[in-house]
């Protein structure tokens, strides 16, 4: 669907941002590009919709070189979400979402139907939000609108550049959950840049790890965890993922909530094993939340149960 063939980018000041990268992103795939700051992620992403011209090599979309597409045709068929999306402040939410459908001259009723459907899809009731102005929404809600604006005209491809990194942890997790739903429902080919390995492991079908303008490894989250090609990948994925076993679900350990104490220590579902162990050294139990809603407790006993069962599995 999107194919990089020997693609390089040197900026005019001589910076070699991307060096001979090659890979293919499949139709409907959620492809996450990750790596340390400055490794060339954004450059790679922006070359796809020709926001940045290539120095060498070729990018194909559906078998056709991107240079051969009409630029408007290309951009309208590629939704784009940035870290801090800029909604037009004087336009309503509905008008903001409708920009590309309007450009494509969709019919009024179709545009209305589409904006309502998308707002509802990400939990923003269209009756309440369609006619609001951007400043009447929270940062997280605005970013949601940014995501659905990119989807509005039904593009084949969505590019997302650290779309949730400016949000507080709870909004961030909510948007990641929305993204998982959208992924299931819409099956768009998505290229998603992040520097957050947990976000990558949560969302990706495949992850592409970059270092200094090169691709180090591409694989499913499971492949990267179980078969890192070198220490760089191992450190990047392994250490941060800690040692939860691969098919382990935090949910399986949860003790039911009987009553909620006032001074309860809380953690989100995406907590790492190491962080949880550290918390349980200090506290008898930790309340686990999903999207800010308590879903159960982990206590020292349940953690011991987990540790002993994994040791048994490993035959220790
Ligand atoms: P990332 O998204 O992984 O942080 P970028 O693609 O933004 O990385 O940048 C890759 C490299 O290219 C970095 O060394 C960065 O400083 C450099 N770079 C990015 N944009 C420009 C530019 N317009 N001119 C010169 N160098 C740039």
pLDDT of 273 strictly over 80 = no
Q: How far is the CA of 237 from the centre of ligand 1 (A)?
A: 23
Q: How far is the CA of 52 from the centre of ligand 1 (A)?
A: 11
The count of other CB atoms within 10 Å of the CB of residue 14 is: 6
Which of 153, 150, 157 has its CA nearest to residue 178?
150
pLDDT of 178 strictly over 90 = no
Higher pLDDT, 173 or 102: 102
pLDDT of 222 strictly over 50 = yes
Among 228-232, 249-253, 274-278, the range of highest mean pLDDT: 228-232
- Supply the residue whose CA is at minimum distance from atom 16 of ligand 1: 38
Q: How far is the CA of 35 from the centre of ligand 1 (A)?
A: 13
- Supply the residue whose CA is at minimum distance from atom 12 of ligand 1: 17
What's the confidence (pLDDT) of residue 131? Answer: 96
What's the confidence (pLDDT) of residue 136? Answer: 94
What's the confidence (pLDDT) of residue 304? Answer: 78
The strand order across the sheet containing 266-268 reads 266-268, 285-290, 293-299
Q: How high does pLDDT run on average in the chain?
A: 87
The answer for residues whose C-beta is within 8 angstroms of residue 293's C-beta and 6 or more apart is none
Task: Give the pLDDT band of residue 240 (cuts 50, 70, 90).
Answer: very low
Q: How far is the CA of 163 from the centre of ligand 1 (A)?
A: 18
pLDDT of 244 strictly over 60 = no
Q: Cβ distance 20 to 6 under 8 Å?
A: yes
Q: Cβ distance 156 to 189 under 8 Å?
A: yes
Residue 128: CA atoms inside 13 Å, Cβ hemisphere, count?
8
Q: Tokens in use for 49?
A: 């919709």
Beta-bridge mates of residue 281: none
Tell me which fold the domain 2-242 belongs to: Rossmann fold (3.40.50)
Q: Picking from 24-33, 52-61, 192-201, 204-213, which range would have the lowest pLDDT averaged per residue?
A: 192-201
Task: Give the pLDDT band of residue 312 (cuts 50, 70, 90).
Answer: low
Query: Which residues line ligand 1 at a C-beta cut-off of 6 Å?
Result: 11, 13, 15, 17, 35, 37-43
Helix (H, G, I), strand (E, B) or coil at 294: strand
Which of 195, 134, 187 has its CA nearest to residue 166?
195
Q: DSSP code of 69? A: S
Q: Picking from 22-31, 48-57, 205-214, 257-266, which range would have the lowest pLDDT averaged per residue?
A: 257-266
Q: Cβ distance 277 to 205 under 8 Å?
A: no
What's the confidence (pLDDT) of residue 316? Answer: 43
Q: Picking from 174-178, 225-229, 240-244, which range would have the lowest pLDDT averaged per residue?
A: 240-244
Q: Picking from 1-5, 42-46, 239-243, which range would have the lowest pLDDT averaged per residue?
A: 239-243
Q: DSSP code of 235? A: I
- Supply the residue whose CA is at minimum distance from atom 23 of ligand 1: 11
Which of 6, 2, 26 has its CA nearest to residue 215?
6
User: The pTM is what?
Assistant: 0.76
- Asked: is 244-313 a CATH 3.40.190.10 domain? The reply is no
Q: Which of 40, 194, 209 to mutate to test the pocket of ligand 1 (most atoms within 8 A of CB)?
A: 40
Q: Where along the chain do its domains lie?
A: 2-242, 244-313
Q: What is the mean pLDDT of residues 17-29?
A: 97
Q: How far is the CA of 43 from the centre of ligand 1 (A)?
A: 6
């Amino acid at each position: 669907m999107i194919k990089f063939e020997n693609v390089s980018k040197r900026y005019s000041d001589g910076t070699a941002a991307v060096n001979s990268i090659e890979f293919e992103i499949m139709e409907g795939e959620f492809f996450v590009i990750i790596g340390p700051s400055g490794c060339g992620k954004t450059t790679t992403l922006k070359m796809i919709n020709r926001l940045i011209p290539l120095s060498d090599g070729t990018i194909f979309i559906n078998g056709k070189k991107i240079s051969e597409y009409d630029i408007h045709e290309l951009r309208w068929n590629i939704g784009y979400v940035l870290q801090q999306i800029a909604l037009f402040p004087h336009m309503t939410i509905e008008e903001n979402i409708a920009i590309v459908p309007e450009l494509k001259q969709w019919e009024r009723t179709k545009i209305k139907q589409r904006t309502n459907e998308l707002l509802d899809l990400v939990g923003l009731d269209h009756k309440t939000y369609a006619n609001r102005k951007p400043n009447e929404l929270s940062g997280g809600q605005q970013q949601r609108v940014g995501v659905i604006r990119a989807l509005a005209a039904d593009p084949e491809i969505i590019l997302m550049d650290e779309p949730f990194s400016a949000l507080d942890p709870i909004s961030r997790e909510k948007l990641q959950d929305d993204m998982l739903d959208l992924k299931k429902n819409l099956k768009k080919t998505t290229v998603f840049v992040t520097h957050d390995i947990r976000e990558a492991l949560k969302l990706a079908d495949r992850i592409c790890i970059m270092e200094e303008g090169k691709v180090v490894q591409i694989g499913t989250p499971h492949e990267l965890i179980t078969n890192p090609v070198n220490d760089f990948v191992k450190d990047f994925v392994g250490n941060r993922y800690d040692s939860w076993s691969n098919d382990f679900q935090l949910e399986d350990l949860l003790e039911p909530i009987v009553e909620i104490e006032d001074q309860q220590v809380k953690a989100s579902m995406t907590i790492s094993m190491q962080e949880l162990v550290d918390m349980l050294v200090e506290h008898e139990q930790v309340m686990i939340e999903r999207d800010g809603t308590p879903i159960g407790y982990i206590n020292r006993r349940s953690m011991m149960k987990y540790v002993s069962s994994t040791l048994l599995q490993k035959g220790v």
